[in-house]
Amino acid sequence: MNSNFDLTVKLFADGADLKGIREMSELGYIKGFTTNPTLMRKAGVEDYAHFAQDVLKIVHDRPVSFEVFADDFETMEAQALQIASWAPNVNVKIPVTNTKGESCERLIARLAKAGVQVNVTALMTLEQVKTVAACLENGPSSFISVFAGRVADTGVDPLPMMSTAVEFLSDYPNLELIWASPRELLNVFQADAIGCHVITVTNDVLKKLSLVGKNLDEYSLDTVRMFYADATAAGYRLDVPEAMLIA
């Protein structure tokens, strides 16, 4: 990481590529890891439990979140208890609702009462944050993931909501707010500025940390050189008539 800045927000690496997870695990400023079924499918993961065990062989000193994938509450609960048993650093990701739009709040409350560390995911409103926080109030340390990036995708600025969520959760010392689905490196600094506890970041965005503090004139020149090099490497050419050449 560039040494010209310090962050209070914790960086969690988000992905399902074992090579990338191993690389990120060697970086001291990565404080946790998250994944989800979509990322796992994209990475070609075929055996869920086997993949999770491979991850836990790499990451055993920082929180790792694995998500349930059932849609009925009974099976979701059974999956959650099984996933939680894999290691003490596991947080079980529970969606805020099932696919029918039915709230998972009762399930979340039962898991919290049973001492399961959860990561409630796919939230996009303050009302959802308030409902979930109430369910987790007396439980173990857990996360609430608000998909700020997806909120921004709808044309709504997520900053005011995320800032309010941080303030609201100050009354819940066992809970940490995650800024999920960031779209650019700037989101890391936005999350940090409002006191958000955690931001999940994919490897491609994390690698942009090396650009922080870069001189913009130099960056402009680098960009020009990139365009020129790619055009040259591609062998592009235009046969410009002599008459159009400026003497």
Catalytic residue IDs: 93
Taking each helix axis from N to C end, the angle separating 73-84 and 105-113, rounded to the nearest 10 degrees, works out to: 30
Using CA atoms, how far apart are residues 201 and 232, in angstroms rounded to an integer? 34
Concatenated DSSP letters of 147-185 = -HHHHHHTT---HHHHHHHHHHHTT-TTEEEEE-S--ST
Alpha helices in the chain (DSSP H): 18-25, 37-42, 48-58, 73-84, 105-113, 126-136, 148-153, 159-169, 186-193, 203-206, 216-234
Cβ–Cβ < 8 Å for 154, 125: no
Residue 37 burial class via C-beta count within 10 angstroms: exposed 0-12, middle 13-18, buried 19 and up: middle
